[in-house]
Amino acid sequence: MSRSKSLDLVFKALADGRRRKLLDLLKDEARTTGELCEALQPLDRCTVMQHLAVLEKAGLIFVQKKGKFRWNNLDVAPIREIYDRWINQYASPSVELFAKLHQALEKE
Q: Is 61 in a helix, a strand, or coil? A: strand
pLDDT digit string, tens, across residues 66-79? 999 999 999 999 99
- Provide the residue range defining the domain that includes 53: 1-75
4 and 55 assigned to the same domain: yes
The mean pLDDT of 79-93, rounded to a whole number, is: 82
Q: Cβ(78)–Cβ(6) under 8 Å?
A: yes
Q: Is 69 in a helix, a strand, or coil? A: strand
19 and 42 assigned to the same domain: yes
pLDDT digit string, tens, across residues 8-36? 999 999 999 999 999 999 999 999 999 99
104 and 70 assigned to the same domain: no
Q: What is the pLDDT of residue 11?
A: 95
* Side-chain half-sphere CA neighbours of 77 within 13 A: 8
64 and 36 assigned to the same domain: yes
3 and 43 assigned to the same domain: yes
70 and 106 assigned to the same domain: no
8 and 41 assigned to the same domain: yes
